Structures are given as C-alpha cells and as structure tokens.
Chain A
Amino acid sequence: ETGVTQTPRHLVMGMTNKKSLKCEQHLGHNAMYWYKQSAKKPLELMFVYSLEERVENNSVPSRFSPECPNSSHLFLHLHTLQPEDSALYLCASSQDPQYQITGELFFGEGSRLTVL
C-alpha cells in the first residue's frame, strides 16, 4: 500500500447507527486531517492531528468523534448522524502541520457516506 488509504470507500447508514471511517498513511508524515466535501461546496476542515495530538477542531458536531492512535492511523467515529451529513469524507496527511506553507496535502480517495 502506498500514499493514503481510506476504508470503507462507500458507507450507507441509518441515523441511529454507529460506524467508523478508517484512514492509514504510508508516507511517514506527522500530521493527519479529516475534511468534509459536499457537492458544490469548498472542502471543510474538520480535525487536525499532529503527532497523535488534536491541534484543531473546527466546531464539528459531537456526533463526529476522531481518534488518532498513532501517527499512521486516523479514525472518524460516527453516531446518530443526520441526512445533511451525507458527503465525501477525505483524509489527508502532510509532513508537518505547517502544510499551509507549501499546500502539500496528500489526500486519500475518500469515503462516500450516505445517511438515510
């Protein structure tokens, strides 16, 4: 495996379900991110982890719960979601949290979430 891998690629869940999205990076990077991508809207930064420590949480509802057990893995735990949470969830990594200086984020292919 190379780059950033995300599983599952597609997920359909009811509003009362609990599920998790998984992300793994094989690049030796120190920072990992969760982004939400909705149709015709800009990418929304949700969470930033640097060396397994959360450094940013952009006012994300508590029904989204991130977990970063080590610098290579990132999870997004989902529970009691709403239909408006349906979107593509992208995981990304960078060498360090100062990614904005070079803009070089490495993205996974995303997990397409549908909430019924």
Chain B
Amino acid sequence: QKEVEQDPGPLSVPEGAIVSLNCTYSNSAFQYFMWYRQYSRKGPELLMYTYSSGNKEDGRFTAQVDKSSKYISLFIRDSQPSDSATYLCAMSQYGNKLVFGAGTILRVKS
C-alpha cells in the first residue's frame, strides 16, 4: 500500500465549477499537510499549508484535513482555466521528509 494515494485524473470540469481534489494516506503520524500546484513545464509551488486537522481558506481555495479518516481535500470554487495544472498533495510528520502524492491533473474548460 502506498503511503499517500492520489487519483491521477485527469479531472476535466467546466469553468465556474467547484473542484474537489483528494488524497488518502496510511500514516496516522502525519501532522503537516500541504497542496502544491504545478503548471506544465514548471516546478511545483506551495498553494496551501495546514497543520493537523481542520479547514483553511485562502480566496477560492479551501484545504480540509480529516485525520480520523486519513483524508485530505482541496476545494476550488469558481474554477478558472488558469487553475488548469497538476495538484500534488504532500504531508509529513515532525522531523521527517515530505511524502508526496503522484498528483492529479486538472483541466478547466472555458
């Protein structure tokens, strides 16, 4: 079993849709949860960071962590064609390296 599972997609949605991206994980010791966005031919960039459980909102983006279910989500409201990218979840426990998911390809059609 992979430590972090992420549906590779591609996920194709119309402009304006609400997008839900998800990751599941097996290591209950993970405390730090991140979402990175990677545009084509670019390196990943940190989008959202959450410590432990709960929600965090930043503009159109909401990150959600459910540690009891070992499940994290990224919601994108009013999706735009410029949101088309690969979204990588990443997580870690204190003192250990980041563990990444394989990424979900998102395509927002105008």
Is residue B41 contacting chain A, with contact meaning CB distance below 8 A? yes
Query: How many residues does chain A have at the interface if contact means C-beta atoms less than 8 Å apart?
Result: 22
Contact with B along A91-116 (1 / 0, CB 8 A): 01000000111111111111000000
What band does the interface of chain B fall in when counting residues whose beta carbon is under 8 Å from A? 20 to 34
Contact with B along A35-64 (1 / 0, CB 8 A): 000001111010010000000100000000
Given A103-B32, A109-B41, A110-B43: A40 in contact with B94 (beta carbons within 8 A):
no
- Asked if B43 contacts A109 (CB within 8 A), the reply is yes
In chain B, what residue has the closest Cβ to A43?
Answer: B100
Is residue A76 contacting chain B, with contact meaning CB distance below 8 A? no
Is residue A81 contacting chain B, with contact meaning CB distance below 8 A? no
- Candidates A40, A48, A90, A103; contact of B46 at CB < 8 Å: A103
- Asked if B4 contacts A40 (CB within 8 A), the reply is no
Given A40-B8, A42-B101, A56-B97: A101 in contact with B32 (beta carbons within 8 A):
yes
- Asked if B44 contacts A107 (CB within 8 A), the reply is yes
In chain B, what residue has the closest Cβ to A90?
Answer: B43
Q: Can you list 20 contacts pairing A with B, beta carbon distance less than 8 Å?
A: A40-B102, A41-B102, A42-B2, A42-B102, A43-B44, A43-B90, A45-B97, A48-B97, A56-B97, A100-B95, A100-B97, A102-B32, A103-B33, A103-B49, A103-B90, A105-B98, A106-B45, A107-B43, A108-B43, A109-B42
